[in-house]
A and B are shown apart, each in its own frame.
Chain A
Amino acid sequence: MMLQLPLVVTAQVDLVLLLVSLLALWTRLSRLSYPNAVVFDEVYYGQFVSLYMKRVFFIDDSGPPLGHLILAFGAYLGGFDGNFVWNRIGAEYPSSVSVWSLRLLPALCGALCVPLVYLLTLELRFSHLSALGAALLLLLENSLIVQSRFMLLESVLIFFVLLAFFSYLRFHNTPSSCFRYGWLILSGASCAAAVGVKYMGVFSYLLLLGVASLHTWNLIGDRGVSHLSVCVQCVCRVVCLLVVPVLLYVFWFYVHLSLLHRSGPHDQLMSSAFQASLEGGLSRITQGQPLEVAYGSQVTLRSSASQPVPCWLHSHKANYPIRYENGRGSSHQQQVTCYPFKDVNNWWIIKDPGRQELVVSSPPRPVRHGDVIQLVHGMTSRFLNSHDVAAPMSPHAQEVSGYIDFNVSMPTQNLWRVDISNREAESESWKTILSDVRLVHVNTSAVLRMTGVSLPDWGFRQLEVVADKLFKAQSSSLDWTVEEHRYGTSQEQKEREAELHSPTHIDVNRKISFWAKFLEVQWKMLTVKQEDSEHKYSSSPLEWITMETNIAYWLHSSTNAQIHLIGNPVSWGVANLSLLAYQLLAAVYLLRRRRGFKDLPDGVWSQFVCLGCVCVGGWVVNFVPFFLMEKTLFLYHYLPALCYLHLLSPALLEHTHTHLLRYVHTHTHTHTHTHCILSLSC
């Protein structure tokens, strides 16, 4: 085989781009392991990284798992074993922790933002000079540098958002070819990643969808394209920008859940079925339990509501006071409460109203949906009872008590109908852990419910349990699940027999599907509210524009060396100015166009509009939602919005230069433009 000569490699390298990228890498990556101490929110993200390393399940309400996963991946590369106590800012890392690798991925993302902005400006159809300007603005923005250099997520978010817009615009600008859809898929994937890092990414995703649907709408209006082609293109776009991101988003959770399989500190928030699927914790207790609840079963009943705390149906040898503090009377029967700790008084026995035995017959007769049962308290043998007496703390609801016959014309009303709310068939049997059951009082149709209110001292501050009309409460506070379960046997012999005859001991681990786990985790993440704490450095959105506050990230106790997050005042000023200028200019153009004055040729006008949609739109969607949020906000929340403004400034300058000032001294202006951009950036 002959080698064909000359052997030619033709490569075009944008040296400016290369240079800017190298500078970005240098600013973001040099001396990355300094300071060798926990800096600001590393203390927060670090604990999750440790939990990943130990494969311990946790719930974090601040965002979906991808961001934590990326940080954990960095830690994994550095061989971090998770053995570090993240308890305070400023704590020194031991030498075993590779600080450099912990911070590497966010820093890389932060560095890559700079060339991305350069390319994005080009895709917005502005000149290389503007692109350089935008890249320099981003490169020299000290707040971004600070935020990128530590184990934080903003730079990752910004990277994915910019990547999504860049690849979408590249897709839009490329003439038809197969590669085109590669860019679109990349765009969809970056959107999924952005949303997966922080929920704030949703707004950028929506903006991108808006831009894309506008373009698609124009495509539909293009009569030159055949119907078939339009259909195919629309379907492709839907698949790439809607289906792919959703699937990827679920995939992040899949990775998250398959990594974390051990029980941990947040187990209590989850349902019994979920907990049982984790190693350790509940599954240790529930392994080998009989699956179907039968007459004679001994059970503990856990309330499905995890607010305020998870708890179990409970009763004890104390009665309701004859009169409450406010003078209302009670039945003076035995208290029934909900108790947040494991206790022998949490055990109840399921009894068939027609029979006397409290043991499981052989074969066991399973309880099915719609059956009427009695519940006997294991330790005191009282029947769970409810009647038309006002409950202690929620007087509109019925009291629930352990029935005692005081001969005061209070008949027993201790029949409860089993209503399995998550049943699949009408005759489904009551299953341990898996079934959510409502206990409907037969006489009054009221439903057993945990109210979440604490009883006073006479009730030992346990939680109140009442019977209430069906629709008055959130559904979850009505549901109860059997958590611990054993077949009741009163004699030694029978115990063994029952064990032998009991049905298969199904391992509940495998019974909960990924989708159920995903939905539960996602729902808990969105609804669990961590305590809202005021912070010394928290700020309100309006203060961000004027950069009134900074954040002290780190302070060395002895040398007084410090790291602060604060923006570059010049570039922030320019950003604000260009935002204002764009809006003014857009308003003037619009009004004048409406009156028939065409200041700009159509191509330039659409370029100008596209710039506004991406940059001003991006700023709006990343800024305005914060006004509606109730959580504690910091200056760094503004950084994604700021990046859009840095994208806007040079492009707007170029637009002003080429289209507004073209009538005046044309020749001097090329220089002015260059000077402006360079001086701005420096």
Chain B
Amino acid sequence: DPPVFHGSLVISSQVVCPNGKGRMHFTKEQNSRGHFSTAKQESVPQLRKDPIQGNNSEEPPSRVLLMLVVGLSFSTRLYKIADPPHVCWDETHFGKMGSYYINRTFFFDVHPPLGKMLIGLAGYMTGYDGTFPFVKPGDKYEHHNYWGMRGFCAVLGSCLPVFAYLIVLELSQSHTAALITATLLIFDTGSITISQYILLDPILMFFIMAAVLSMVKFNQQRYRPFSATWWLWLVLTGVSLAGALGVKFVGLFVILLVGLNTVWDLWRLLGDLSLSLVDITKHLLARVVGLILLPLLLYITIFAIHFVVLNKSGPGDGFFSSAFQSRLIGNNLHNASMPEYLAYGSTITVKNLRIAGGYLHSHWHLYPEGVGAKQQQVTAYLHKDYNNLWLVQRHGENECEKRGILLRKTTRNLHTHLHEAPLTKKHFQVTGYGINGTGDINDLWQVEVCGGQKGDLVKVLRSKVRFLHRATGCVLYSSGKTLPKWGWEQVEVTCSPYLKETPSSQWNIEDHINPKLPNISLSVLKPHFLEILLESHIVMIRGNSGLKPKDNEMNSKPWHWPINYQGLRFSGVNDTDYRVYLLGNPVVWWINLASLGLYVIMVAVASVALQRGFSLGQKRIGMVIDCDSNDSHVLMREGGQLFLGWLLHYAPFYTMGRVLYYHHYFPAMLFNSMLTGITLDVLLKSADLLLRRPYSDWLQRVGLMVLLFSVLYSFYLFHPLSYGMTGPLAHEAGSAMAGLKWMDSWEF
């Protein structure tokens, strides 16, 4: 019932007025700092308390509103949760990884493990047994209990509008603003779609929003430091941060947001001369514990659980070092026994020592025309494969202790020559050459143990080895650059003329098969937990930056996102399929985009006015000076926080080299929607700058109604995007979506 909210607003703003006045008065006289802060101290608690009392007196509608938001949010997200009954889009990855947790199989993924662990847990609790293979999108689930995992994600996704509602309410103390935000998010088809499937995004956004909510609540407790609720919100912020980072590295952005906010807060405390240095140190320490140590501990715990749970060998082994692999049951290095010293005639695999370095590999394919000599490719490959096996051969009669030709299973010799390497032009190309072991002088490689003397034996697994080329004097080197498609996107191997010792030019012998020698058990390798942690992070970061767009995929650009340029196909392509298309409700997104611009303009106008000493409020309610400093305060301070949040979750994508997708924008979109709530609320309230009192109220109410109605109606129009469409595509006349393809780039 709008009039009631309106009443509550009036109450709160009247209470605030004296304080606003006080603030203006003292900021003018910067020198009387002591006065300023004490005055602020006395007055500001009122500012914060009274609106709450105001809320309390108006409690029934606010509670009703909250219940309404919760109800609508859950019902829109959980509606048709089990449809379509087949694998959609990235469910094929994350569902599969959830199954890996249930089966305790080790895998590699570019994201930290928490999200997939939670998915696995949700599946486990709801009776999913981990047997569905999740091979490709479109596979029918049949009898498998997939709804539990989807439901879990949807429940977390349903919390987002609720959190947004509470955050905006807390920041602006305005039910109108909170209501606008909640409406935008509840009826956004994009937010609904992304919450309904087995994906990391709803989990990630849940933690992001939880962190922001706890941060805002914590800020509100600033006048009751070290109280129980103060601690509670601090700890909750820390926990949510750990959760966000534990799901995806995008969580770093919200950590940055909270970090900046905390620094700002500490700076404020430092300027408060009524606090002693001891108090400030206590504040600092509390934040260090709550926002740094606690999340770090939790984050490490997540990884510890990850490594404890996944103890069986699986598809991710090859990404990790030999030492790491020896932990995994079923891996050939687990409790391995093999001949201890390298010998001629052994079959071996050779692994690069750079983290995520890969095995020395070759296959039948030749280097293409124009890339050095047209001989067989030699690459580094991250997966275990029979093409990684090499045979050590002795060359002639030579007194040197260990010298050999390395011969591959495809019976070509490892060879290099004075042709430039495909990517690293200063290095030489490495090829496979010769037939069945007969080659030429360029096939000779000298084995050198790093830090060893001449005559030392080469130890399997434990020796760091370099391969020096006899004829040119270069060393075998893995550049870490990914070859183009002709090289199957494997990693380039070159021969480097620079003899500096780097892990890129060092290798170790991993598998070693020689029937003539006795096997010796090797249990030396057990790595320390911190080593595993570090290694897995480097592997993840490498993997992340190495995600390059696939050939037939649209590489989405960051500027596409705010304008809702193009969505993502979750399921189905043709008109006979059950199609789900991830696309934001265009009305909602375009309102968001417009209010971003509006926000910048309003802040610019308001801050110039403040700086010049104009008072917008004088015009407004003749008797009270500067009443809307509250509005501009909300706009600049609280809106600023949200704007910063949007910026932090959006701008970094411009600098990323990896492949980007539309759904990366959703965290930023949440911040944008919250900002829209505040901006439009302040804008509607500013109607009285133009019109006199009763008319401005009407304008305000009509504006709000039009806004809410247009969002609702657009949701009615676009809801098939989320809840599934069948039948002809939108450009055909008989389609349910006919006439709604407002942009050519939308694919429904």
A residues apposed to B, CB below 8 Å:
217, 220-221, 223, 227, 230, 394-397, 461, 470-472, 531, 533-534, 591, 594-596, 628
Does B1 belong to the interface (CB within 8 Å)? no
Q: A594-B267, A595-B277 are in contact. List 7 more A-B contacts (CB 8 A).
A: A220-B608, A220-B612, A223-B613, A396-B551, A471-B554, A595-B273, A596-B33
Complex Cα distance, B267 from A121, in Å, reads 32
Given known A-B contacts A221-B611, A221-B612, A628-B655, A394 and B273 have beta carbons under 8 A apart: no
Contact B424–A472 (Cβ < 8 Å): no
Nearest chain B residue, comparing its CB with the CB of A591:
B270
Given known A-B contacts A221-B612, A396-B552, A594 and B426 have beta carbons under 8 A apart: no
Contact A470–B744 (Cβ < 8 Å): yes
Contact B554–A220 (Cβ < 8 Å): no
| Count, chain B residues at interface, CB 8 A | 22
B608, B612, B655: residue with the most chain A Cβ atoms closer than 10 Å = B612
Minimal beta-carbon separation of B494 from chain A (angstroms):
11
Which of A472, A534, A594 is the one whose CB lies under 8 Å from B270?
A594
Nearest chain B residue, comparing its CB with the CB of A461:
B369
Minimal beta-carbon separation of A175 from chain B (angstroms):
23
Nearest chain B residue, comparing its CB with the CB of A396:
B552
Complex Cα distance, B277 from A394, in Å, reads 67
Contact B271–A594 (Cβ < 8 Å): yes
Minimal beta-carbon separation of A31 from chain B (angstroms):
35
Q: Which 6 A-B pairs have the closest CB atoms?
A: A396-B552, A471-B745, A221-B611, A534-B426, A594-B270, A594-B271
Contact A394–B745 (Cβ < 8 Å): no
Complex Cα distance, B566 from A220, in Å, reads 43
Contact A394–B551 (Cβ < 8 Å): yes
Residues of chain B lying within 8 A (CB to CB) of residue A534: 424-426
Complex Cα distance, B271 from A221, in Å, reads 23
Residues of chain A lying within 8 A (CB to CB) of residue B551: 394, 396
Number of A-B contacts (CB under 8 A): 43
Residues of chain A lying within 8 A (CB to CB) of residue B424: 534
Residues of chain A lying within 8 A (CB to CB) of residue B655: 628
B residues apposed to A, CB below 8 Å:
33-34, 267, 270-271, 273, 277, 369, 424-426, 551-552, 554, 566, 608, 611-613, 655, 744-745
Contact B612–A595 (Cβ < 8 Å): no
Complex Cα distance, B277 from A227, in Å, reads 44
Contact A596–B273 (Cβ < 8 Å): yes
Complex Cα distance, B287 from A611, in Å, reads 33
13 sample A-B contacts, Cβ–Cβ < 8 Å, listed by A number: A217-B611, A220-B612, A227-B612, A394-B552, A396-B552, A461-B369, A470-B745, A471-B554, A471-B744, A472-B552, A594-B270, A594-B271, A595-B273
Residues of chain A lying within 8 A (CB to CB) of residue B271: 594-595
Residues of chain B lying within 8 A (CB to CB) of residue A217: 611
Complex Cα distance, B566 from A624, in Å, reads 35
Minimal beta-carbon separation of B407 from chain A (angstroms):
28
B551, B566, B613: residue with the most chain A Cβ atoms closer than 10 Å = B551
Nearest chain B residue, comparing its CB with the CB of A536:
B426
Say whether chain B's binding surface is mostly helix, strand, loop, or mixed: loop
Contact B270–A595 (Cβ < 8 Å): yes
Complex Cα distance, B611 from A221, in Å, reads 5
Complex Cα distance, B275 from A596, in Å, reads 12
Contact A220–B611 (Cβ < 8 Å): yes
Nearest chain B residue, comparing its CB with the CB of A397:
B552
Complex Cα distance, B425 from A533, in Å, reads 7
Nearest chain A residue, comparing its CB with the CB of B552:
A396
Minimal beta-carbon separation of B730 from chain A (angstroms):
13
Complex Cα distance, B550 from A395, in Å, reads 12
Complex Cα distance, B656 from A628, in Å, reads 11
Nearest chain B residue, comparing its CB with the CB of A532:
B425
Contact B552–A395 (Cβ < 8 Å): yes
Residues of chain A lying within 8 A (CB to CB) of residue B369: 461
Contact B554–A472 (Cβ < 8 Å): yes
Minimal beta-carbon separation of A628 from chain B (angstroms):
7
Minimal beta-carbon separation of A477 from chain B (angstroms):
13
Complex Cα distance, B610 from A221, in Å, reads 8
Complex Cα distance, B423 from A531, in Å, reads 10
Residues of chain A lying within 8 A (CB to CB) of residue B566: 471
Nearest chain A residue, comparing its CB with the CB of B614:
A227
Residues of chain B lying within 8 A (CB to CB) of residue A470: 744-745
Complex Cα distance, B345 from A161, in Å, reads 66
Nearest chain A residue, comparing its CB with the CB of B655:
A628
Nearest chain A residue, comparing its CB with the CB of B270:
A594
Complex Cα distance, B267 from A594, in Å, reads 8
Complex Cα distance, B37 from A595, in Å, reads 12
Complex Cα distance, B552 from A471, in Å, reads 12
Complex Cα distance, B745 from A309, in Å, reads 28
Nearest chain B residue, comparing its CB with the CB of A602:
B31
Residues of chain B lying within 8 A (CB to CB) of residue A628: 655
Residues of chain A lying within 8 A (CB to CB) of residue B612: 220-221, 223, 227, 230
Minimal beta-carbon separation of B496 from chain A (angstroms):
10
Minimal beta-carbon separation of A190 from chain B (angstroms):
29
Complex Cα distance, B552 from A396, in Å, reads 6
Minimal beta-carbon separation of B566 from chain A (angstroms):
7
Minimal beta-carbon separation of A366 from chain B (angstroms):
27
Minimal beta-carbon separation of A326 from chain B (angstroms):
13
Minimal beta-carbon separation of B276 from chain A (angstroms):
10
Residues of chain B lying within 8 A (CB to CB) of residue A596: 33-34, 273
Complex Cα distance, B608 from A394, in Å, reads 55
Minimal beta-carbon separation of A633 from chain B (angstroms):
16
Residues of chain A lying within 8 A (CB to CB) of residue B273: 595-596
Residues of chain B lying within 8 A (CB to CB) of residue A220: 608, 611-612
B424, B611, B613: residue with the most chain A Cβ atoms closer than 10 Å = B611
A217, A395, A471, A591: residue with the most chain B Cβ atoms closer than 10 Å = A471
Complex Cα distance, B613 from A461, in Å, reads 71
Nearest chain B residue, comparing its CB with the CB of A473:
B554
Nearest chain A residue, comparing its CB with the CB of B423:
A532
Nearest chain B residue, comparing its CB with the CB of A456:
B368
Complex Cα distance, B552 from A397, in Å, reads 8
Complex Cα distance, B655 from A220, in Å, reads 35
Complex Cα distance, B425 from A216, in Å, reads 51
Residues of chain A lying within 8 A (CB to CB) of residue B277: 595
Residues of chain A lying within 8 A (CB to CB) of residue B426: 533-534
Nearest chain A residue, comparing its CB with the CB of B610:
A221
Residues of chain A lying within 8 A (CB to CB) of residue B270: 591, 594-595
Minimal beta-carbon separation of A465 from chain B (angstroms):
16
Complex Cα distance, B271 from A395, in Å, reads 65
Residues of chain A lying within 8 A (CB to CB) of residue B552: 394-397, 472
Complex Cα distance, B69 from A448, in Å, reads 49
Minimal beta-carbon separation of A446 from chain B (angstroms):
13
Complex Cα distance, B565 from A472, in Å, reads 12
Complex Cα distance, B267 from A596, in Å, reads 13
Complex Cα distance, B420 from A531, in Å, reads 14
Minimal beta-carbon separation of A449 from chain B (angstroms):
13
Complex Cα distance, B552 from A596, in Å, reads 62
Complex Cα distance, B257 from A170, in Å, reads 39
